[in-house]
Amino acid sequence: MTVELILGDCLDVMRGMDDNSVDFGFTDPPYNVGKDYGTYKDNLAENEYFDWCVEWITELQRVCKTVAIYPPKKHLLWFWNKFPDHHQIICAWSPSGAIRGNFVHQYIPLLVPNKPVKRLKDHWWNVQVPGLGYYYKEEKFNNPGQTSMDITGRVIDGFTLPGDVVLDCFFGIGTTPVYCATHERSFIGIEIDPIYFAIAQKRIHNAQQQPLLLA
């Protein structure tokens, strides 16, 4: 299995990739809510944000045979319209989550292919998300949009097979490549910020030094 990390703009990189050259794409994109991602500025005008999303979604769908997206709940309908044949998975938890407008948020949606590789429930209970605060048990790496290993692993297990190639065009601090590197999947990933890129490299190196518990 191989891990290929590319430092650069995802549009530039994907435009140089062949059609259907990757088995599965999974990504958690910026939500345009003003988070500090270093190199990338998460504060576009709304029309510019959606125009940009159309560009990278088009390339992701061209390059990958199947795709799963971790969409912003606020724009779920917009993203679902870009993947009309996809299925929604609800990821929920029991502790109190973030409070916005007097709603206590206790779930996030995923948009996934309608044919998982094994029988799969579409309600994932007690998932790990950084918004759980004290109840979030995974290590944090100072990334404001961190995707949990828990959710990433469930997606990879549910929609890929050992030996498949996975692409993440916003891999950030490297959660998707770490999981792939330790679960018999090859990985191609793109990240624009050099600080996050370096964190991902270190995480992958450390993960690959650990012996597998099960062969």
Model confidence over 122-136: pLDDT tens digits?
A: 999 999 988 888 888
Q: What's the pLDDT score for residue 212?
A: 52
Instruction: Give the angle subtended at the CA of 168 by the CAs of 164 and 172, to the nearest 5°.
Output: 135
Which position has the token pair 């299925």?
87
Q: List 32's β-bridge partners, or say none.
A: none
**CATH at 32:** 3.40.50.150
Question: Is residue 123, in this structure, part of any structural domain at all?
Answer: no
Cα–Cα distance for residue pair 138/60, rounded to 1 Å: 28
- Closest to 166 (Cα-Cα) out of 63, 71, 82, 94: 63
pLDDT beneath 70: ranges in the chain:
210-215
Cα–Cα distance for residue pair 213/186, rounded to 1 Å: 19
Question: Is residue 124, in this structure, part of any structural domain at all?
Answer: no
Question: Is residue 54, in this structure, part of any structural domain at all?
Answer: yes
Written as six digits, the tokens of 99 are: 């409070």
Question: Is residue 214, in this structure, part of any structural domain at all?
Answer: no
Pairing mode of beta strands 22-27, 3-7 = unpaired
**Buried/exposed code over 33-51 (b: 16+ C-beta within 10 A; e: otherwise):** eeeebeebeeeeeeeebbe
Written as six digits, the tokens of 5 are: 């990390």
Instruction: Give the angle subtended at the CA of 55 by the CAs of 108 and 1, to the nearest 5°.
Output: 70
Q: List 109's β-bridge partners, or say none.
A: 90
Instruction: Give the contacts of 183 (CB within 8 A, at least 6 positions apart).
Output: 153, 156, 157, 162
| Residue 73 · residue 108 · CB < 8 Å | yes
Question: Is residue 158, in this structure, part of any structural domain at all?
Answer: yes
Q: List 166's β-bridge partners, or say none.
A: 24, 187
Question: Is residue 90, in this structure, part of any structural domain at all?
Answer: no
Question: Is residue 139, in this structure, part of any structural domain at all?
Answer: yes
Question: Is residue 24, in this structure, part of any structural domain at all?
Answer: yes
Q: Domain of 172?
A: 3-69+134-209
- Structural domain count of the chain: 1
